[in-house]
Copies of this chain bind each other. A is one copy, B any other.
Amino acid sequence: MMTTRQNQPGSRSKGRVTLSDVARMSGVSAMTVSRALNEPQRVSEQVRERVAQAVDALGYVPNRAARSLAGNRSYTIAVVIPSVSNAVFNNVIRGIYDVCAPAGYEMLMGNTYYSVQQESSLISKFLTHHPDGMIVTGLDMAESTRRQLEAAAIPVVQIMEVGGSAPLDMNVGISHSEAGAAMARYMLERGYRRIGVLGAQMDYRSQRRIQGFIDVLMGAGRADDKRVLTTSEPSTVCLGGQLLADLLLRNPDLDAVFCCNDDLAYGAIYECQRRHIRVPQQLAIAGFNDLEGSACINPSLTSIQTPLYDIGKTAAQMMMRRLAGEVLQQPVVDLGFRLQARDSA
């Protein structure tokens, strides 16, 4: 049970342990305590120890707001992604985290839910934290947001895709149209000829994947608009099954389907199981992103493996270098992808 004084939020605090309390107890100035905590190598060992003891004894917790205000630096990187819950971005986030945390940076994370409006308002909100840098997903954003970011004059890394619109500052990702094209070439090589396409969410990257895929089919004289089914609804496993059902209704003769992400592909495979359609013999299915479950579904799913962790890690590393004052020779990095062939296509 909570027994003690509850700080009155919204009143002038008293009784909070501050740097000067620690300073008083350890018999040095506040500034020295600050240095003992943030640049320990700059104070003598005995001071370092006395300060550590005082911090412990008093239960001192530094106040980031004060630090940020005084230091004109927040030690915070804002990360703007469509959805933290998405397994795709989770890997990216780990990559960012593994670089930021050891460097003493916090991450401020938020979801856009694939909406340009939500992205704009989220970025506005994040700017009030005065982050030292920002990592945002994708190359496309509202013009006003672009201006806001330029006005903020902080380093920005755009992640996930390269080669779409011109980047604002730094850029790390893969070419989604090339990845889509690679999948199309693979399917054609394997002998599939009546190839369908399923897409949901239809953010810019899904669109580019599908465009790249279709362009290759077109080049081979195998494109057919009737075989492409997309929706702006959020992508779910169940939706994959429904979309496949729709698509087959209009194209009973399909011999393969490219799903613009693995979730849809799972749903499509489930639908085939229910209809006793043998995959890949009667219908081949491929996905995109190569999520954890793709290796163990039946049949195992052919997909495009994207370097998610490395995208996050590289983006954060570039950010750190920029924050250290370095001028990057290569502000745009294409990390490439790998086609993971398995049993489903």
Contact = CB atoms under 8 A, between A and B. Distances in A.
Given A130-B65, A150-B4, A238-B295, A323 B9 contact: yes
Nearest to A61: B127
A270 B297 contact: yes
A330 interface: no
Contacts of A11: 72
Interface string A72-115: 11100000000111110110010000000000001011000000
Interface stretch (A27-35, A43-51, A151-159, A191-199): A151-159
A241 B296 contact: yes
Interface string A4-31: 1111111111000000000000000000
A287 B59 CA distance: 44
A62 B64 CA distance: 17
A237 interface: yes
A57 interface: no
Interface string A102-135: 0000101100000000000000110111101000
Contacts of A335: none
Contacts of A295: 238
B64 A130 contact: yes
Nearest to A14: B72
Contact of A128 (B5, B61, B154, B274): B61
16 contacts: A3-B150, A6-B153, A9-B72, A9-B73, A9-B132, A10-B73, A59-B151, A61-B128, A63-B69, A64-B128, A65-B69, A83-B90, A85-B93, A236-B292, A238-B293, A241-B296
